[in-house]
Amino acid sequence: MTLVAILSGAGVSTDSGIPDYRGPNGLWRRDPEAEKLVTYSYYMADPEIRRRSWLMRRERTTLNAVPNAAHRAVAELDRRNGFAVRVITQNVDGLHQLGGMPDRKVLELHGTARAVVCTRCKVRSSMDEALARVDAGEADPPCLACGGILKSATVMFGESLDPTVLGAALAVTKACEVFVAVGTSLAVQPAASLAPLAAEHGARLVIVNAEPTPYDELADEVVREPIGTALPALLAGLA
């Protein structure tokens, strides 16, 4: 059984209509003020930031996006005899699971945009339910259980990654035979450090990304072709 780790970044989901954040036309470059809406300290301190954050979530296409060929190719590999796949994703869109990957095989480093969590009592509920309350007139809907501040179940700037999820990602990275970094700039730590860690532990390292990354020289193969066609071809060709 060949263990294949897929580290996926924003580039995997652009074909699904979800823009990246740090690319040439990314959200943070176009609107630096938008970064405040997903920064924990600003979010917790300022009701106006929270109100704008809820409007941003309502207007985003993330929850309506559908998986593309890259997501489906990953799930197809997992169903093939002789392969075990684990996805380590920097994305919060849930499209790997919608594309056919079992939830237990997807490690969401930065959380999920499909749920909300109370910052006080930690109760989780669905994003759809929270957005329905926004649509009904609640500009900053509080937790229904304790009245605390609700936030997206994503890791905001200023928050730490879930140590359990990160620990599982490190274990998969050290154990895999093939490590594919796809659609990620490999510039954001600690996710970026997984690529050299995989190579250090003997994995075949493949990088699929439109732009150069800091770890291209370590890779056994670098692919610059469009992800929607390149990743399915690459995974189909694994023996």
**In the chain, ranges of CATH 3.40.50.1220 domains:** 1-18+67-110+160-239
Peptide bond into 47 cis (omega under 30): no
Cα-Cα-Cα-Cα dihedral sign, residues 81, 89, 104, 126: negative
**Number of residues that make up the chain:** 239
Contact between residue 53 and residue 4 where contact means Cβ atoms under 8 Å apart:
no
Which CATH superfamily groups domain 1-18+67-110+160-239?
TPP-binding domain (3.40.50.1220)
pLDDT of residue 59: 83
pLDDT of residue 35: 84
Digits of tens for pLDDT over the chain (239 positions)?
Answer: 999 999 999 999 999 998 766 554 555 556 667 888 999 999 999 999 999 999 989 887 788 899 999 999 999 999 999 999 999 999 999 999 999 999 999 999 999 999 999 999 999 999 999 999 999 999 999 999 999 999 999 999 999 999 999 999 999 999 999 999 999 999 989 999 999 999 999 999 999 999 999 999 999 999 999 999 999 999 999 97
Kindly report, residue by residue over 60-82, the tens digit of the pLDDT. 778 889 999 999 999 999 999 99
What distances in angstroms separate CA 36 from CA 3, 40, 158, 189, one per listed residue? 39, 8, 11, 20
Catalytic hit among 71, 96, 110, 201: 110
- CB 75 within 8 Å of CB 100: yes
Is the pTM higher than 0.85? The answer reads yes
pLDDT in tens, 136-168: 999 999 999 999 999 999 999 999 999 999 999
CATH class of 19-60+112-154: alpha beta
What is the predicted pLDDT for the residue at 54? Answer: 95
Half-sphere exposure of 160 (CA within 13 A, CB side): 6
Chain region(s) in the chain for CATH 3.30.1600.10: 19-60+112-154
Q: Among this protein's residues, is 110 annotated catalytic? A: yes
Q: Which residue has the tokens 């989901």?
A: 13
